[in-house]
Chains A and B, each alone.
Chain A
Amino acid sequence: MAALVIAEHNNGALGAATLNTVAAALQITDQVAVLVAGRNVGAVAESATRIAGVSKVLVADDAAYAHLLAENLAALVAALGRDFSHVLAPATSHGKNYLPRVAALLDVDQISEIIEVIDTDTFKRPIYAGNAIATVQSSAAVKVISVRATGFDPVAADGGTATLEVISTAGDVGLSVFVDEQLSKSDRPELTAAKIVVSGGRGMQSSDNFGLLYELGDKLGAAVGASRAAVDAGYAPNDMQVGQTGKIVAPQLYIAVGISGAIQHLAGMKDSKVIVAINKDEEAPIFQVADYGLVGDLFDLVPQLQAAL
């Protein structure tokens, strides 16, 4: 039994979710290989060999994988996957894009966003926006699994001594072309990896007012998130959305400001260790999950909080 983990990486650095995915793979087997596919990925592959617990790093260096296009990457992973009992990828937007394609090419069902490994073929995963937890068992020859990063503590990025193996690649299957990317620039910690997250909802009333949260976030070293209502109203960009259809976070501290707490939002943050809610409506559902609630006007309370820190 051996597992293949597909590394997440971007611009020459290994993505944090890779370490959580390796952690999940190590709960299944001690034979874990990591695939680094991309263009000019020497440095990423090098850092992958140092991940604790990884025995082998496979490197596929080809222009066809430069932007992790699903058509090219899935063809590569499906061809490699036949030699493994498990293929795992982080449930990031990249992983969610190519992994089901891999599963279908291998003619097996995929198990999405596992949060717990029970044994080598049994896993737990949330369904219905996290309102139920299903225990599922796979009889597939190759188990294709995406891993919710917040469900597993990351392994150490250093200390491993994996061997490096360059593999031959099939190249471009010719179905899709990358045009460009517009990435939001931010000096704050990445939302899914931050220890503290400050999120705003419709109660923020404008994108200018989100400035209050950015200031509070900077004071706390926190990432800033948003509810769907705030994103749809144009107060914050899409990639800041926390919830069932946005990012799933589980920080040490989650501060929800002007967020009512709809089911879909709670699905993205209710595994946070400590939840603080600031809302003027004391009946807001968010108070049912908050460890500490503060009822009042956020425009008074947020600056006060910032000053008190």
Chain B
Amino acid sequence: MKILVAVKRVVDFNVKVRVKADHSGVELASVKMALNPFCEIAVEEAVRLKEQGIATEVVVVSVGSNAAQEQLRTALALGADRAILVETADEVSSLVVAKALKAVADKEQPQLVILGKQAIDSDNNQTGQMLAALAGYAQGTFASKVEVAGDRLKVTREIDGGLQRIELSLPAVVTTDLRLNEPRYASLPNIMKAKKKPLEVLTPQALGFSTQSTVKTLKVEAPATRSAGIKVKTVAELVEKLKNEAKVI
């Protein structure tokens, strides 16, 4: 089967972001960017399915600025076969990304599409579900285990009270949870080889979708800061404070 994997370029998860002084967004200039951690897990799962002989080809796709080519190269170094960048300078919402991925899926006809469960910048947790809806595919979100059984997909999902197992017809969309796998590191020879793998650049115009969104961001602010606390010396002092000062026990 052919697997399509969507990846996103985001601020590195270790960076403590700062809100811009004019409240238009967060400071992204000269901040370290990286592959979204959940997308790494998605690439890893696709590559493992290829190593097991289940997948024949792994295609990675990203929607965004030209700089996202860097993250596509990373995915190629991790084992993907070729890459597609849907290039747009516009700020894109999850629905727009889902429409871009739907257009790519129509072209590529994958049996399985794997995405991360959420991007750590917008924290939306929408794109996979939206793509599944637009394409009319089944969805297996927050997956911690995925097995291909003929033309069916067995997915174990992380839900609030524990785990849920479902079976989906293919083609399907899967979104990865943290515990699906442990992504590998790209080796230097693989990083070199990845430079020669094909990377196709498409535009929204060529794919026939609009980047218009029904949502606009009016303002971005820093969250309210907590006032500094105190250090207590003993357990007795802690219990006394909790009882009499904070009145929470």
Contact = CB atoms under 8 A, between A and B. Distances in A.
Given A94-B159, A178-B165, 17 more contacts: A71-B132, A93-B160, A100-B130, A110-B126, A137-B215, A175-B137, A175-B172, A238-B144, A239-B158, A263-B14, A287-B229, A287-B231, A290-B229, A291-B229, A292-B232, A308-B235, A309-B239
Contacts of A231: 179
A43 interface: no
Interface string B65-95: 0000000000000000000000000000111
A238 B158 CA distance: 8
Given A111-B215, A131-B16, A295 B130 contact: no
Interface in A93-117: 93-94, 96-105, 107-113
Interface in A173-195: 174-184, 192
B239 A305 contact: yes
B215 A100 contact: no
Contact of B229 (A103, A238, A264, A293): A293
B231 A137 contact: no
B238 A97 contact: no
Contact of B123 (A122, A126, A293, A304): A126
A2 interface: no
A112 B216 contact: no
Contact of B214 (A128, A139, A239, A309): A139
A178 B159 CA distance: 13
A112 B239 contact: no
Interface of B: 11, 13-14, 16-17, 19, 26, 93-95, 98, 117-118, 120-134, 137-142, 144, 154, 157-169, 172, 177-179, 213-223, 226, 228-232, 235-236, 238-239, 241-242, 246, 248-249
B154 A244 contact: no
A74 interface: yes
Interface residues of A, number: 89
Given A245-B117, A291-B246, A292-B241, A101 B132 contact: yes
11 contacts: A10-B161, A71-B138, A100-B94, A108-B214, A136-B215, A137-B218, A183-B162, A238-B162, A263-B16, A287-B229, A304-B235
Given A103-B130, A104-B133, A109-B214, A292 B248 contact: no
A181 B159 CA distance: 9
Nearest to B159: A93
A109 B141 CA distance: 19
Interface of A: 10, 67, 69-71, 74, 92-94, 96-105, 107-113, 122, 126-140, 174-184, 192, 196, 220, 228, 231-232, 237-239, 244-245, 247, 252-253, 263-264, 270, 273-276, 282, 287-295, 301, 304-305, 308-309
Given A74-B133, A245-B178, A253-B246, A132 B220 contact: yes
Contacts of A308: 235-236, 239
A175 B130 contact: no
B160 A94 contact: yes
